[in-house]
Structure 1
């Protein structure tokens, strides 16, 4: 009996080893698939920044369909401060964008005396994968400058 028990334990250990090896193989294959899917994207060119009357809009063109999100630093939980990927996106639409009002998401407004005007600044995180950070994610500091118009008043005065 002692020999039979030893064989039983050796067989169980071999089965366990095979199950662990099989599980690791499946896990590795899944991770390679996720990594190749996620890392197979990038920003093409420079972002396009539009400085509107009361908003900033930033558009990014990506190599493949964008499945992540863009969010303002420290405002991930606020839906108005992030832009999520569109579901069922066709391969031709590879753009990601976000539009922020000046009075939302702690967009910084700072006056300038030289040159006279106002800087509007925010930090945007572009995450290609919504569940975790990747090495291709980017952070952009976006800034618009609004020059103050010269104020010239003319009035004719008559002196007697």
Structure 2
């Protein structure tokens, strides 16, 4: 949404953004946030589509940003703040987002590149792609994890520090269902860690698995899961029948 016109395609939105005129004068980010609240989401789709405001600034606002930012967050709008150059007021960035994980700083406008855009996109939409509570697989000779996602997952699941070993990762080509993902690894592969426990008696087997959401590079929203299985040592009592041959005992002297 730019001004009072509704845009329904990416190309229309890009066209409109390119035609926004720069307004000179003081920096009033608080007023901009209030304007976004009142005008930016009229006619917006509901459901699971995230409502997002991204603030890019290279300075300091002359008005209050905390109150309009809070009103946006109360309306379930996520705010991301990107500070450009070392002249920004980082405290104001935190006031706007209410979450330090949604604050980014770069040295120059040249760093507002595709990599940063991808990272922001994944963070905004991660609820659609991130797996829910995973199921741990504790098999007799292997350990693993299984999870499901709302949307098709096109990244990789791999054992931490072993991405380049084929047997230690699973990608889209190995998932029969792109919404059901996971990996299992034999005990003797991928540096799976095993150690003995005396109380209770048994063996712990563990590894750390990474859910990498993008197929080409790591992002800040990638999820790691530590998997641990315990194999209790069975208590066995062994019974051996004993035979005694009396004929082999020498007679006592009387």
> Unpaired runs of 5+ in structure 1?
1-20
Q: Which residue of 2 aligns with 1:110?
A: 195
Q: Does 1:150 align with 2:235?
A: yes
Alignment partner of 1:41 out of 129, 151, 162: 129
Q: For 1:64, what is the secondary structure of its paired residue?
A: coil
Q: Within 1, Cα distance between the matches of 2:213 and 2:201?
A: 38
Q: Within 2, Cα distance between the matches of 1:96 and 1:156?
A: 53
CA deviation string 1:22-62 (max 9, x = no partner)? 9x9xx77xx47x82696442222x11111111011211111
Q: Which residue of 2 aligns with 1:62?
A: 149
Residues paired across the two proteins, number: 133
Q: Which residue of 1 aligns with 2:47?
A: none
CA contact (8 A) 1:110 1:120 kept: yes
Q: For 1:86, what is the secondary structure of its paired residue?
A: helix
Q: Within 2, Cα distance between the matches of 1:155 and 1:129?
A: 60
Q: Within 2, Cα distance between the matches of 1:71 and 1:116?
A: 30
Runs of 4+ in 1 over 3 A off after TM superposition: 36-40, 156-160
Highest Rg: 1 or 2?
2
CA deviation string 1:102-157 (max 9, x = no partner)? 00000001011111110001011111102222343111110111111112011233
State the Cα RMSD in Å.
Answer: 3.1
CA contact (8 A) 2:144 2:227 kept: no
Q: Which residue of 2 aligns with 1:7?
A: none
Q: Which moved more, 1:145-154 or 1:34-43?
A: 34-43
Alignment partner of 1:119 out of 180, 204, 207: 204
Normalised to the residue count of structure 1, the TM-score between the two structures is: 0.70
CA contact (8 A) 1:57 1:99 kept: yes
Q: Which residue of 2 aligns with 1:12?
A: none
Normalised to the residue count of structure 2, the TM-score between the two structures is: 0.46
> Unpaired runs of 5+ in structure 2?
1-17, 20-109, 247-254
